[in-house]
Amino acid sequence: MHETHEADEAHEGKGGDEDALHDFVRDRRLALFRSAYLMCGNRDEAEDLVQTTLVKVVLGWRRLKRLDSVEAYARKTLFHTFIAGKRRFWRREQAYGELPELPVPEPDSETGLVVRAALARLTPRQRAVLVLRYWEDQSVEATAALLGMRENTVKSHTARGLAALRAEMGRELV
């Protein structure tokens, strides 16, 4: 009877883990997608980025439960995966037999479209820093920790990114 009780506890623990994992994915997917969309500027690419991030979270779930914040790990993974994906040469160019149809913009304000278009022209690190600082309202210190950068590097990416964003938006709105 003692062995059965231990097996039941192990099974309940496993079910609880799966429930916690399911709850985490359900509760955080949309927030991760919003940040990914701002960085990617493309719904499909943002979905792929979130999916890749969540796969990494799921694969490391048992190890991650010991961390203080699984959400912080997921956000860090999202931003690192985005930046790493932009470094790969094969991701920069795509060959098409025919030109793809231009995507239909989602209903949005003119300013929102201009901001997202301007964000898309920034470097991946500048985009990641600006999304963390101004969309996710992270401090310089938290942004530096998430991206593995020095605080001064975050500040310089912020300043350069904002300057480029302002210049791009000025051209678009004129």
Q: Give CA 130 to chain center in angstroms.
A: 12
Question: CA–CA separation, 164 vs 158, rounded Å?
Answer: 10
Question: CA–CA separation, 143 vs 150, rounded Å?
Answer: 9
One domain for residues 107 and 84: no
**What was the pLDDT predicted at 113?**
76
One domain for residues 12 and 51: yes
**What was the pLDDT predicted at 65?**
66
One domain for residues 110 and 80: no
The answer to whether residues 126 and 149 touch, using CB atoms and an 8 Å cutoff, is no
The domain spanning residue 5 has which CATH number?
Answer: 1.10.1740.10
One domain for residues 139 and 174: yes
One domain for residues 47 and 121: no
Measured CA to CA in angstroms, residue 101 lies from 98, 104, 131 at distances of 9, 9, 28
Select, from the ranges 50-64, 79-93, 143-157, the one with the highest average predicted confidence (pLDDT): 143-157
For the chain, the domain total comes to 2
In this predicted model, what pLDDT tens digit does every residue of 66-107 receive, in sequence order? 666 788 888 888 988 888 877 655 544 555 566 556 554 454
In a domain, 98, yes or no: no
**What was the pLDDT predicted at 73?**
84
Domain of 15, in residue numbers: 1-88
Residue at token pair 């039941």: 8
